[in-house]
Amino acid sequence: MTAKDKLILALDVYTLEEAKDVINRLKDVVDIYKIGSQLFTACGPEVVRYVLSQGKKVFLDLKFHDIPNTVASAVGSAIQMAKIGENQNSIFMCTVHTQGGVEMMKRAAEAARDMSFQLGVIKPLIVGITVLTSDGKTEGVASLVLERAQLAKKAGLDGVVASSQEAALLRHELGQDFVIVTPGIRPKGADAGDQKRITTPFDAISNGSNYLVVGRPILNAKDPVQAAKDILGEIEAAPAV
């Protein structure tokens, strides 16, 4: 994987036009875009299909959490939503909450495999939310994250979303093939905002994270393109794990 393959830009904007503007400005340096509750509530499937139409990848971060059947149906619908015509478009990654339990996660993983096979598209990565990086609690967090990540692996998920502060532990305990997606990334000198458990891009990759989710440090920068390039530079400089 190159540095560009590891960077996910959070499209935390309010309108489709804003999203289009961001993608147009950053299309040469960013290939993966996170669509979360804010933008999806405003634009729905249209924004997903727009990102895919630009040849980019979609990380659909809707954090599904419900009874197993409902979550399985939601994952299937997400894959159907992304398919355009006869091509191989699909979402790249999708989130569910590990707190939903093993059966819920298992059904989500099965739905992803089954629907992808049925439609003839590449199966998206299904990753579980462990503990939000905005949670300021520190006592017992590492053991809780590990416990939830172990359940996610048992259920057949591809990986988890976790702070890079737990990434080294997860990598050691769950192996090299388990995907770790890390939000709360802040370049050196950046404002933490509402994130509590943050790390730099260099440290996150060094700790074993596969993908880094970055939003405000790029979106709010005076020069978003240069900000993204600087982050890519930090990723590139980090030792491979």
**Residues annotated as part of the active site:** 63
DSSP, collapsed to helix, strand or coil, labels residue 105 as helix
Which two tokens mark 179? 């995907």
DSSP, collapsed to helix, strand or coil, labels residue 34 as strand
Q: How far apart are CA 181 and CA 141, in angstroms?
A: 17
Q: How far apart are CA 127 and CA 215, in angstroms?
A: 19
Buried b (16+ CB within 10 A) or exposed e, 59-77: bbbbbbbeebeebbbbbbe
120 CB contacts (<8 Å, ≥6 apart)? 88
87 CB contacts (<8 Å, ≥6 apart)? none
